[in-house]
Amino acid sequence: MRTAIVFLAVATLAGCAGIQSPLSPAGDQAAALHSLFTLMMIVCGAVYLIVLLGIVWSVLRSGTQRRFDSASGGERRLDRGLYVAASAIVIGLTVLIVGSFIADRALVAAREDDAVIVRITGHQWWWRIEYRDPASGRWIETANELHLPLARTTRVQLASADVIHSFWVPNVAGKIDMIPGRRNVVHLTPRRLGWFRGQCTEFCGAQHAHMAFDVKVDGQAAFDSWLARQGSARAPRRQSGRGASVFVQVCGSCHRVRGTEARGRAGPDLTHFASRRSIAAGTLPMSRGGIQGWLAQPQALKPGTSMPTVPLEPADADAVATYLETLR
């Protein structure tokens, strides 16, 4: 079972290397940091080369010494070398400090007046994501998948519901911690369409490794229609099958599906569950096999998760999986 799921993951997501890397910037903030990184590599690379040459010089030269005479001019030459070295280090550091200062300012220079407002709350071990609907001002909730409009700034307010987490989408921007009792903000201005990946980077307990999320950068129109759909509730008349009723009874105390009796708030909002790309904060790919596997043995796939192993009759589990697949 597990092997099959892993195989599936490889098959669906193969060739996605670089989707979680600061070296492949796809946003303004990451680009500023990438330029700084390049500057650092040039300066530090040169310094390392000089040190290596220094080692080689000292080893080779020591072989030619007959005897050491401190009264000769050697000591004065060394003193001059020392001053040169000190000056060079100070100049190099000044360049890097100024570069760092400029890059740091670039992270907050983004225009805010037409920013998309998103609130993300870290939970052990998943992400509650809420968009403010610009028309109505209400919050539209989803989980574990962040959509961003291209070439526009999204202002993300970060909070935590339990312990400290850290929000990191390296292709778009640097990480910022999510700390209980504090509200941090990060600006994301993506410049490239496509799928990226984010992950929690502050150790947050047993399943820190499985606290990831997908990031999709869309054009403005595609983003607007995605958001409109996420904001819609389910039509109640279509929520009447066996899967729906079992879901409300068994899953509804923790999960919410807007428009139904399932109103739990402890776990992720599942109103548009099947529209997402992965299950359980990046643990499994979204597929029928993934859903069934997750329902059957969450504690084997993500040991320690708050999702309990719910004893369901096979037919019921099947029905719930079918129902979940309809939540697009």
d(CA 169, CA 176): 10
172 binds other proteins (CB under 8 A): no
CB nearer to other proteins: pick between 201 and 326: 201
Q: Is 257 exposed, middle or buried (0-12, 13-18, 19+ CB in 10 A)?
A: buried
Q: Which stretch binds other proteins (CB under 8 A): 145-153, 199-207, 262-270, 306-314?
A: 199-207
190 binds other proteins (CB under 8 A): no
179 binds other proteins (CB under 8 A): yes
17 binds other proteins (CB under 8 A): yes
Choosing from 22, 194, 259, 289, the residue that interacts with other proteins (CB under 8 A) is: 22
Number of helices (H) and strands (E), helices first, in the chain?
8, 12
d(CA 33, CA 12): 31
DSSP 255-309: -B-TTSS-B--SS-B-TTGGGSSEETTTTEESSHHHHHHHHH-HHHHSTT-SS--
Residue given tokens 């526009």 in the structure block: 152
Is 245 in contact with 261 (CB distance < 8 Å)? no
Q: Which stretch binds other proteins (CB under 8 A): 52-60, 135-143, 233-241, 253-261?
A: 52-60
233 binds other proteins (CB under 8 A): no
- In the region spanning residues 69 to 108, those forming contacts with other proteins, defined by CB under 8 A, are 70, 74-75, 78, 81-82, 85-86, 89-90, 93, 96-97, 99-101, 103-104, 106-108
CB of 121 to other proteins, least distance (A): 14
CB nearer to other proteins: pick between 90 and 233: 90
